[in-house]
Structure 1
Amino acid sequence: MPPAPCPCGLAESYADCCGRFHDGGLSAPTAELLMRSRFSAFAVRDTAYLLRTWHPGTRPRQLRLDPGQEWTRLEILGRSGGGLLHNEGTVEFRAHYRHHGQDGFVEENSRFRREDGHWVYLDAEA
């Protein structure tokens, strides 16, 4: 039986997709792949990765995830910049979840910046 696809929605297995970024061996090469890997980090509850990929100027001191919330699906709605030759980019997405049996979603246009050669999450545009 083949491994389940990555939580981020791409066809590769978690280990071959976002897991390779979570283990610290590689950095996401684009803002969209960082966004996808951060969604997967929420899904697998990897707070260390979330904090490590958060811009130091906007990163919270600690992060506690709600144990009653399960992240179920990610939709990428749009993007600008964020490529191999960019230093800034945005990714608009809809992240679906189930919280205590109720389905919902969060929609956001996230801003990303390349710092010391690595993409980091900066903040969300209003």
Structure 2
Amino acid sequence: MAGLIDMQARCACGNNKKFTDCCGYYIEGNTPAPSAEALMRSRYVAYTLGCDDYILATWHPSTRPAPQDAADKVKTKWLGLEVKRHEYNLQEPNRAIVEFVARYKVGGRAHRLHEVSRFVREGERWFYVDGDIR
């Protein structure tokens, strides 16, 4: 993947860090994201780069689609990400939600995806479970 992007470029997740010091650390290595928010950001970046393997690997097995279903069949240009909130429940520290808005274009038409996503931690790894579109 290193040949696909400028390793010195700012990460597409919006954290204002270099890709290699941000989401690239999780996408390119075997290092688990330390929080649900970090996982959500890295998954967004994986979508921008077309890293279907990473997207599937970070999707909880109970809700993970088949590989052919996960691939985005339509040419999508991702434009930006805004994380609105990231919450943990103190009674259930292995569960979290992340609310975000992702902007994108398909066929020259602008769209926005506003989702409240649910995540679960198993061992040292966070996984995306599902989300509610707003």
Gaps in structure 2 of 5+ consecutive residues: 1-6
**Superposed displacement of residue 46, structure 1:** 0.3
Q: TM-score, normalised by structure 1?
A: 0.90
Which residue pairs with 1:52 in the alignment? 57
Across the aligned residues of Structure 1 and Structure 2, the Cα RMSD in angstroms comes to: 2.0
**Superposed displacement of residue 121, structure 1:** 0.1
Structure richer in helix, relative to its length: 2
Gaps in structure 1 of 5+ consecutive residues: none
Q: Please tell me whether residue 88 in structure 1 is matched to residue 72 in structure 2.
A: no
The 1-side partners of 2:96 and 2:89 are apart by 4
Q: Please tell me whether residue 12 in structure 1 is matched to residue 17 in structure 2.
A: yes
4+ residue runs of structure 1 moved beyond 4 angstroms?
none
Percent identity over paired residues: 38
Which residue pairs with 2:115 in the alignment? 108
> Where do 1:8-87 residues align within 5 Å?
8-62=13-67, 63-81=70-88, 86-87=93-94
The 2-side partners of 1:66 and 1:9 are apart by 25
Q: TM-score, normalised by structure 2?
A: 0.85
Residues 8 and 20, structure 2, Cα contact 8 Å, conserved in 1: no
Match of 1:98 among 92, 105, 111: 105
Name the count of aligned residue pairs: 124
The 2-side partners of 1:51 and 1:45 are apart by 11
What SS does structure 1 have at the residue aligned with 2:39?
helix
